[in-house]
Amino acid sequence: MKKSGTLTIDGFPLSYSIEGEGIPVLVVGSTVYYSQLFTQEIKKKLQFFFVDHRGFVKPPRSLSPEDYQLNLMLDDIESIRQMLNLEEFVILGHSGHAFMALEYARKYPECVKKVVLLNSAPTNSKERQQQSFSFFRDTASDERKRQFEKDIALLERDIEKDPERRFVHMCIRMGAQSFYDYTFDATDLWEGVYTNMQIIDHLWGEVFGSLNLLQSLKHFNKPVFIGLGRYDYLVAPVSLWDPVEDLSLKVEKVIFEHSGHNPMLEEPHEFNKRLVNWIYEVDDFIR
């Protein structure tokens, strides 16, 4: 059974979609985008709460920086949690939203039982981004690099034609760095996804570059699942996460060997099995 709606916070119409049954999992990001990535099979085991943040909805007014500070968006998540009567849940953040998910769990730990961080590097700093690109240049197959060069050559034209969707265009044209199948075309996944570039630029360009997940996890005492794709060149290499082994016995790191940036879509059977087993492994939930 699927339920959806819109919750207005400070004028922002934040949509949500509830799908599946089982332990609740709150997924931070775009409701339109993320609701497509998880299979119906996993929704038989977990109840997903897909929720927008301010970067994925049309703004109610001209915005100032005070309208999209990270702490404000964490407060939005908390307001949504209260409105949807979520008392015990897993919070899941994918890619840049891993930073948002962990920061929410640190600020509002009371109802969060576990945290899932998928396909993120420990930081989004410019230095790390260059490291990832160098890794791609030095280790990717020639066929993959040729596909990347072919696709990325079209990015400038795409942005000139539709500058307000430059984040979407970039995600699509970087498919050879994003997917195990480097010819995969992600255009359909982004259909209907609204992006507010003022907020997206702030989050990816400033906020996520200033945070470090390894540092944030040092004194974090809840179970954490870190899922990575071996061929996820956007946040490569997976060895960036090696130091996490020394941080906590509550951290489980899983590398999906035939995935890029979206193992839930690329290796659904293995992804579903590993995530569901981990969530149910320690029964901290009222069932």
In the residue annotation, 261 being an active-site residue is answered as yes
| Res. 182: pLDDT tops 80 | yes
Assess whether 95 carries a catalytic annotation.
yes
Q: Which of 95, 132, 178, 259 is catalytic?
A: 95
In whole angstroms, give the CA distance from residue 70 to residue 104: 10
Q: What is the DSSP letter of 192?
A: T
Residue 287: per-residue pLDDT: 39
How many angstroms separate the CA atoms of 252 and 33, rounded?
Answer: 26
Residue 286: the pLDDT is 40
Are the CB atoms for 49 and 89 separated by under 8 Å? yes
CATH of domain 2-126+195-281: 3.40.50.1820
Pair 124, 208: CB distance under 8 Å: yes
Report which of residues 249 and 26 the model is more confident about.
26
Reported as a single tens digit per residue, the pLDDT across 97-155 is: 999 999 999 999 999 999 999 999 999 999 999 999 999 999 999 999 999 999 999 99
Give the residue among 47, 62, 69, 23 at the shortest CA–CA distance from 202.
Answer: 69
- For the stretch 30-82, pLDDT in tens is 999 999 999 999 999 999 999 999 999 999 999 999 999 999 999 999 999 99
The domain spans of the chain are 2-126+195-281, 138-190
By CB atoms closer than 10 A (0-12, 13-18, 19+), residue 257 is exposed
Q: Are 195 and 55 in contact (CB under 8 A)?
A: yes
Query: What is the pTM for the complete model shown?
Result: 0.96
Gap between the Cα atoms of 91 and 7, Å rounded: 19
Mean pLDDT of the chain: 96
Beta strands in the chain (DSSP E): 2-9, 12-20, 23-28, 46-51, 89-94, 112-118, 224-229, 251-256
∠ at Cα 236 (232, 239), nearest 5°? 120
- Give the three-class secondary structure for 228: strand
Q: Which residue among the candidates 53, 97, 169, 261 is catalytic per the annotation?
A: 261
Higher pLDDT, 278 or 247: 278
Is there a catalytic annotation at residue 53? no
CA distance 201 to 193: 16
Q: Cβ atoms within 10 A of the Cβ of 107, count?
A: 14
Distance CA 285, CA 86 (A): 12
